[in-house]
Amino acid sequence: MPSFNIHQAAAHYIKELQRRYCSHANAAGQPCGGQIVRAHTVQKSGGLEAIARDSRVYSLTTTMPEMEKNQGRLVPRLVGIGQASVFPGFCAEHDRDLFRPIEGKDCIIGFAEALLFSYRAVCFEAYLKRAQLAASDILFRLDEGAPVEHHELAQNMARNVQHSARRAAAATHARKEAYEAGLVAQNFTGFSYSWTRFNQLLPVACCGTFLPDNDLTGTLLQRIAHGTQAFEHVTLNITSFAGQSVIVFGWSGTDDGPAARFVQSFDALDDQLKAAATTRLALEYLENSYISPDWWEALPESYRRGLISHDAARGVYQRPPAISRALGWPIASLTASVIAKGGQAADAI
């Protein structure tokens, strides 16, 4: 029997990422039937164009052949802003109208706007988790053509991956539904947000969610991939308005929970360190991050490797405390200053 390899499994996952549907439910709770578009998770006309050179940015999204070519190292690649951050997960109407309040030339961020940023990030995450779960069945074929003694190992691995994918998909879908209900009702109970605005552009833009493991002092918040409890997540968006970068956090959970404590550790940083921390967070936690070519290419190669050595694309779940503490270190080339900040904790549920 010919062997089935991991490249075929990866191709199956890529196929799942091409499924087209609108993530926003209609009044009956079902995906709408509108014309599906390649929706940007980071604003094309703001966040991406602002940091692009010749309409291109560096992307952290990678493929298995590229990882093999680079011997396991993530090497950012140039992509056009028409392709950066897109996914076929919204219809044209919802992509245009739903996010209009955060797509203009400027934006005053309150509960409604922050929840829109978080909702888009969670919709994108839910789309990825659905694809991962749908593609997980094919992993049970990895023992085809392998020696008998390898079959049990391959099957156990497939079961573990599928179990994790099912759990992650369910948790992300539940968050998506909660945020969606809040948007429809304009009810922000249980939702918190924090934002910081800088006086100039930072060299990154991103959109996504992550599970905070440690705060920025290196203090443990939650042990990822351990236990059966629900993990708290943080949504992270970095974009720009009127030539000024903005970082927006959103989360659900208690005031002293892992998500809140992570954001509090960012807010507690000296304002002079926040531009660097914002940049490092995008490169550390999110694969759906984009980098200014001019800034990136001006950095020494060793410095570039250090900025993405423990990124999300490598599947890092629990960072050493030293890595988390380093997220607050300065970056010499970043001189942006904080000019405004705000946010609000959740009302009690």
DSSP per-residue letters across 39-61: EESS-IIIIIHHH-BTTEEEE--
Tens of pLDDT along 84-133?
Answer: 999 999 999 999 999 999 998 899 999 999 999 999 999 999 999 999 99
Amino acid identity at 68: E
Question: Cα 202 from chain centroid?
Answer: 18
Q: Is the pLDDT assigned to residue 310 strictly greater than 80?
A: no
Asked if 328 contacts 277 with a C-beta cutoff of 8 angstroms, the reply is yes
The residue-averaged pLDDT of 209-238 equals 91
In a domain, residue 1? The reply is no
Tens of pLDDT along 220-232?
Answer: 999 987 666 789 9
pLDDT confidence of residue 17 = 87
Of 25-34, 141-150, 338-347, the range with the lowest mean pLDDT is 25-34
In a domain, residue 240? The reply is yes
Listed as own residue / partner, the contacts of 165-173 with beta carbons closer than 8 Å and 24 or more positions apart are 165/129, 165/132, 165/133, 165/136, 166/133, 166/136, 168/129, 168/132, 168/133, 169/126, 169/129, 169/130, 169/132, 169/133, 171/230, 171/231, 172/122, 172/125, 172/126, 172/129, 172/209, 173/126, 173/129, 173/130
Residue 252 vs residues 189, 231, 236: alpha-carbon distances, Å:
9, 11, 13
Looking at per-residue pLDDT, the higher value among 217 and 145 belongs to 217
pLDDT confidence of residue 95 = 95
pLDDT confidence of residue 299 = 96
pLDDT confidence of residue 349 = 43
- Mean pLDDT computed over every residue of the chain: 89
Identify the CA nearest to 185 among candidates 119, 237, 260: 119
Three-class DSSP category at 290: strand
Residue 288 neighbours by CB under 8 Å, 6+ apart: 41, 42, 60, 61, 85, 124, 206, 207, 208
pLDDT confidence of residue 316 = 52
The residue-averaged pLDDT of 189-200 equals 97
In a domain, residue 349? The reply is no
* Encoded tokens for 272: 């002079």
pLDDT bucket at 163, cuts 50 / 70 / 90: confident
pLDDT bucket at 29, cuts 50 / 70 / 90: low
**Full-model pTM:** 0.92
Asked if 149 contacts 143 with a C-beta cutoff of 8 angstroms, the reply is no
Number of domains in the chain: 1
Asked if 124 contacts 146 with a C-beta cutoff of 8 angstroms, the reply is no
The fraction of the chain above a pLDDT of 70, given in percent, is 92
* Encoded tokens for 216: 């920025």
Structural domain for 319, as ranges: 6-344
In a domain, residue 23? The reply is yes
Rounded to 5 degrees, what are φ and ψ at 164?
-65, -40
In a domain, residue 141? The reply is yes
pLDDT bucket at 26, cuts 50 / 70 / 90: low
pLDDT confidence of residue 211 = 93
In a domain, residue 301? The reply is yes
